[in-house]
Amino acid sequence: MKVVFSTSGNTLDAPLDRRFGRASNFLVYDTETESFTVVDNRQNLNASQGAGIQAAQTVAGTGAKHLVTGHCGPKAFRVLNTAGIAIYTTDAATVADALRQFLSGELKTTGAADVDSHWV
Amino acid sequence: MILAVASGKGGTGKTTVSVNLARVAGRHVQLLDCDVEEPNAHLFLRGVLQRREEICVPVPQVDASLCTGCGECSGFCRYHAIASLESGALTFPELCHGCGGCSLVCPEKAITETGHRIGVVETSEADGITLIQGRLDIGVAMAPPLIRAAKSFLDEGAPAILDAPPGTSCPVIAAISDAHLVILVTEPTPFGLHDLKLAVDMVRELKIPAGVVINRVGLGDDRVHAFCREQGIPVLLEIPDDRKIAEAYSRGELAVDALPAYHAHFENLLFRSRELYRAIRSEHHADLRI
């Protein structure tokens, strides 16, 4: 099973980026092989609009069906939901902490966007 | 002649200058309120509504039975108004700029265009002034298509005054882009000067001749005057920081009606604007002859 984390770095120790659309990277963790790859999302850092939509499409492209992030806005939610991706929000400090929470079943899926458009 | 009234900073007096100019310009002048996010010229003219038209922009409509989710459309859209998933394309009409690119690049011809309402253009008549105003619907973020639509209602045979939105971004460019002359309204404050510089850069980039109106003269300092002198930008009118103008404004009255002394000042502004435009045009023709 693949799980995607929004992060500002590219290791498990890196901070979990609370922002979904404008996170620098997505860390894609494979629970079967216990390994990960990193997908660049920096093209969205300066997007004037639609960063969440583009980021959601990128996450969908990884084939993962689980996303762990800080917050998710309405447009990203619509894309992720359509792609059948479950969204989990957390205030964990690092990707490793968030991964631990995810694996222990502490995180609940969110059924709706938890912030408005253009939430920073 | 199309005369645009713009400013970098908001609240410098664009609408005051526009409506008073329109009043002294005589019969058959058109006043176009391009500040479609909050049109306010109508507060001073109280015209009778003649016509209201809905304005739509074309947005993509995806035929799910034809879409293969190939990603050509979303890859093309720089505004991220369309997302491609395996299950098909998802559209976000509120982000679409209506360029039609997605329907052109779709290899399956799955995308057609449909109208998405963004606002209305209203035309009213008030004592010989034809007021045309765009009014953007609440929640719509894109002003330029509505500004362009409002401009399409202009009668090219009659003079027009365009009241632009504040700033120097896309809506302002859409408003002033085919004006013959731009009047930049500013105030003698550090903020006024800072944004005047941005506005001057903008009109130079667009190659539109410009003059300046300095409003609320008496407050602030003389750096706006110095800047105009250094840059060779003509100051077409100085409006004093006169409480009586603000009082008339607060009652929705035109300065030229409430305070007759200002009538001549605005007539002079119109005269000097026309002279400036003529001078620049003949200079341009002289250049061509050489």
**Segments in chain B forming alpha helices (H):** 14-24, 42-45, 72-76, 101-105, 144-151, 170-176, 190-206, 223-231, 243-250, 255-258, 261-289
Q: Is the pLDDT of residue B288 over 60?
A: no
A38 and A26 Cβ atoms separated by less than 8 Å? yes
Q: Looking at residue A42, what DSSP letter applies?
A: G
- CB of A78 less than 8 A from some CB of B: yes
Distances (CA, A) of B226 to B184, B195, B217, B231: 16, 15, 13, 9
* DSSP H or E segment with residue A96: helix A95-103
Chain A contact probe: residue of B59, B90, B97 with most A CBs at under 10 A: B90
Query: What's the rounded Cα separation, in Å, for the pair B233 and A58?
Result: 50
Q: B29-82: per-residue pLDDT in tens?
A: 999 999 999 999 999 998 999 999 999 999 999 999 999 999 999 999 999 999
Cβ separation B79–A49 shorter than 8 A: yes
Nearest CA of chain A to the CA of B143: how many Å?
15
Give the one of A60, A75, A83 whose C-beta lies nearest to B92's C-beta: A75
Compute the residue count for chain A.
120
Structure confidence at residue B182 (pLDDT): 97
Chain A contact probe: residue of B67, B76, B78, B80 with most A CBs at under 10 A: B80
Size of interface A-B (CB pairs under 8 A): 39
Nearest CA of chain A to the CA of B103: how many Å?
19
Q: Provide the token pair at B209.
A: 């001749």
Q: B5-36: per-residue pLDDT in tens?
A: 999 899 999 999 999 999 999 878 999 999 99
Cβ separation A53–B87 shorter than 8 A: no
All domains in chain B, ordered by first residue:
2-47+127-289 (3.40.50.300), 57-117 (3.30.70.20)
Structure-model confidence comparison of residues A111 and B87, the more confident one: B87
Other CB atoms closer than 10 Å to residue B41's CB: what's the count? 25
A82 vs B contacts (CB less than 8 Å) = 85, 87, 90
B279 and B264 Cβ atoms separated by less than 8 Å? no
B85 vs A contacts (CB less than 8 Å) = 57, 60, 79, 82-83
A78 vs B contacts (CB less than 8 Å) = 90
- A 39-68 → B contacts, CB under 8 A: 47-51, 53-54, 56-57, 60
Q: Looking at residue A12, what DSSP letter applies?
A: T
A56 vs B contacts (CB less than 8 Å) = 83
Query: What's the rounded Cα separation, in Å, for the pair B208 and B182?
Result: 7
* DSSP H or E segment with residue A77: helix A74-82
Q: B92-140: per-residue pLDDT in tens?
A: 998 998 899 999 999 999 999 999 999 999 999 998 999 999 999 998 9
Q: Residue range B262-279: average pLDDT?
A: 95
Give the one of A47, A51, A78 whose C-beta lies nearest to B90's C-beta: A78
Q: B203-248: per-residue pLDDT in tens?
A: 999 999 999 999 999 999 999 999 999 999 999 999 999 999 999 9
- CB of B64 less than 8 A from some CB of A: no
Reported as a pLDDT band with limits 50, 70 and 90, residue B287 is: low
Question: Mean pLDDT over all residues of chain B?
Answer: 94
Cβ separation A54–B81 shorter than 8 A: no
Please state the separation of Cα B124 from the chain's center in Å. 18
Residue B11 contacts by C-beta under 8 Å, 6 or more apart in sequence?
Answer: B166
In 3-state terms, what secondary structure has residue B134? Answer: strand
Task: Mark the ranges of chain A whose per-residue pLDDT is less than 70.
Answer: 118-120
* DSSP H or E segment with residue A78: helix A74-82
C-alpha closest to that of B87 among A81, A49, A22: A81
Structure confidence at residue B290 (pLDDT): 39
- B 84-103 → A contacts, CB under 8 A: 84-87, 90, 92, 95
Q: Provide the token pair at B229.
A: 């002198």
- CB of B130 less than 8 A from some CB of A: no
Backbone angles phi, psi at A79, to 5 degrees: -70, -45
Residue B90 contacts by C-beta under 8 Å, 6 or more apart in sequence?
Answer: A53, A78, A79, A82, B82, B83, B84
Please state the separation of Cα B148 from the chain's center in Å. 9
Backbone angles phi, psi at A38, to 5 degrees: -120, 130
Place of tokens 């860390």: A27
A53 vs B contacts (CB less than 8 Å) = 80-81, 83, 90, 92, 95
All domains in chain A, ordered by first residue:
2-103 (3.30.420.130)
B54 and B156 Cβ atoms separated by less than 8 Å? no
Backbone angles phi, psi at A87, to 5 degrees: -110, 130
Q: How far apart are the first and last CA of chain B?
A: 26
DSSP assignment of B24-80 equals HT-TTEEEEE--TTS--THHHH--EEEEEEEEEEEEEEE-TTT----SHHHHH-TT-
Query: What's the rounded Cα separation, in Å, for the pair B11 and B160?
Result: 22
B67 vs A contacts (CB less than 8 Å) = none
Structure confidence at residue B141 (pLDDT): 84
Nearest CA of chain B to the CA of A44: how many Å?
10
